Structure 1
């Protein structure tokens, strides 16, 4: 066996130690904003230089754009629009992305007995038009649209990624789950470029990875601070998670002194009347986004019971009625809040 001089081994060890002791590169904050999915998408990254940041931002925005081409119900040539035309009475193959979104949507539909239902596209379109015209939808038109809706009319085989529809004229709307999915998938695309600390915001859906340099986590606002003694601070410091908030603040219809939310209850075919805001923290945006909508439709008690069954989710529900604010937090949300102290 060849023996190396001790001094040579020592020099090699010192060189390796010196190399390993090099200070980590200084990370700077970079941010980009682009219009996608009918809203503004914002990506924040901490990268060693502008070139690395540019690559990361482009990867994230390109992923969102690609998902919009898959999930949009506004684009007639999107994959979502195409399958509703082609899969009537026969199975049609889907992309991995659409399969994942529809699989999660169907699981939520089953868990909520249809309170969450992405097949309500015909009904939702009538309410979109109503918001534009500032008047309630026609009752007969809503009744007809409801006949072309219903999650049990969508046959999904997640293992083979195929779907079919029992009846013609169905339309899917994954707006209540798709933006959250896009946020987390864009974050994964950013991470794949080597950027480990990033945040993606697609409207009210956020996904984020490691904390910013020198910080314990990303500062995520979960309420406005006027919810009483619920024990949850307005801002949480979080990492490696997704957050989604649903309410009627931005999209609603006001008619005859009543405010109708853009969130539609399939049972009544009507926009929610209660002023309820739900914020959900989960591992992936597809879960956070779907749960906050489902909880808003189910109401406080049933909604909290739903989220308590998910070991990876936490929720805060805020209800405003007659000037009184009531807030309830799930057990895991209280645990997250306690960890901030």
Structure 2
């Protein structure tokens, strides 16, 4: 994660998904089965999936399908994995048009649209600025004006060239790097939910590091999915509790991922216009 989230501009809390006790309502007479994946690592954070289905075998199948989808999307869109399709684009697109599959191309088209809707606040070309802040964080120094200017010259959605007929990606200038940290997890969650429904889940919750979506029948006879939003300054405190049905929540904060420079924390969320 490294930029302003589409759904949570200005929020400073990191959503910790949990199915909270105490929000239950009356149980139906024939309750469906619930399966819980527990927490596992994917996409550089922890995922948690709950499936509700007519029987235990179907619920477990939904968990397996969801996990396979999350791993698949990560393998395609990770900027940490050198063999991912996104990493191939980042290595080659400055010198040649790179053909990509329909799924990644469609997501890049959506990213361009979201960038235009937000007047550039959301920008998947922010990678050079993210890299700069990571580097100066390791060196415990602020970036110079010259470094910020150089990185900014490689940022801008207008520099991302998408050719729909050929389904190719090209960078207009050298030094560009795409970073899908603000959209890939949401995409992976949507794909996981679709697979869960396809194999018979009647309800479920998919959470990846605070980006989450719930759908259908809540677990264990509850009337709603209960989501706790962790307080950003209290380790065990909740900022608020949400009761949701067929909704998604995404937040990001400055207290779990950051760099420290001269004793001051700097959030992992980078504003491409302010350059910090």
Shift of 1:142: 2.9
Quick check: which one's helix share is greater? 1
Match of 1:266 in 2: 272
Are positions 1:57 and 2:59 aligned together?
no
Q: Counterparts of 2:144 and 2:59 in 1: how far apart (Å)? A: 50
Deviation at 1:257, TM superposition (A): 5.6
The 8 Å contact of residues 137 and 261 in structure 2, kept in 1 or not, is answered as: no
Aligned residues: 242
What is the distance in 2 between the residues matched to 1:97 and 1:132? 35
Tell me if the contact between 2:69 and 2:188 (Cα under 8 Å) persists in the aligned partners: yes
- Structure 2: how far apart are the matches of 1:134 and 1:89? 33
Give 1:88 shift: 3.2
Q: Highest Rg: 1 or 2?
A: 1
Cα deviation, residue 182, structure 1:
1.1
Which of 239, 255, 260 is equivalent to 1:249? 255
* Match among 172, 197, 204 for residue 178 of structure 2: 172
Per the alignment, do residues 47 and 32 of structure 1 end up closer, same or farther by CA in structure 2, a change over 3 Å counting? farther
Is residue 112–residue 157 contact of structure 2 (8 Å, CA) maintained in 1?
Answer: yes
Shift of 1:64: 0.7
Does 2:105 align with 1:99?
yes
Unaligned runs of 5+ in 1: 1-22, 227-232, 271-341
Q: What does residue range 116-155 of structure 1 map to in structure 2 within 5 Å?
A: 116-155=122-161
Contact persistence 2:79–2:86 (CA under 8 A): yes
TM-score (norm 1): 0.64
Q: For residue 18 of structure 2, what is the aligned residue in structure 1?
A: none
Which of 167-176 and 157-166 deviates more? 157-166
Shift in alpha-carbon separation, 1:207–1:133, aligned structure 2, 3 A: farther
Tell me whether 254-263 or 209-218 shows the greater mean CA deviation: 254-263
Distance (whole Å) between structure 2 residues aligned to residue 225 and residue 247 of structure 1: 7
Shift of 1:183: 1.5
Report the CA distance between 1:208 and its aligned residue: 1.4
Match of 1:236 among 230, 242, 251: 242
Task: Indicate the residue corresponding to 2:46 in structure 1.
Answer: 40
Inter-partner Cα distance in structure 2 for 1:67 and 1:180: 11
| TM-superposition CA deviations, 1:189-230 (whole Å, max 9, x none) | 12211012111110010011113243222112357499xxxx
Q: 1: distance between equivalents of 2:164 and 2:224?
A: 35
SS state at 1:264 partner = coil
SS at match of 1:263: coil
Q: CA deviation at 1:175?
A: 0.5
CA distance 1:58–1:132, change in 2 (3 Å) = farther
In 2 relative to 1, CA 238–149 (structure 1 residues): closer, same or farther, beyond 3 Å?
A: same
Q: CA RMSD in A?
A: 2.6
**CA displacement, residues 17-58 of structure 1 (integer Å, 9 cap, x when unaligned):** xxxxxx756423433432111111111112344432332111
Counterpart-to-counterpart distance in 1, 2:141 and 2:57: 50
Larger RCO, structures 1/2 (Cα 8 Å, 6+ apart): 2
Cα 1:106–1:225 change in 2 (3 A) is closer
Q: In 1, distance between residues paired with 2:163 and 2:51?
A: 37
1:204 aligns with 2:210: yes
Distance 2:195 2:135 in 1: 35
Per the alignment, residue 216 of structure 1 pairs with: 223
Give TM-score, length-normalised by structure 2: 0.77
| Residues 1:28 and 2:34 aligned together | yes
Give distance in 1, aligned partners of 2:41 and 2:85: 20
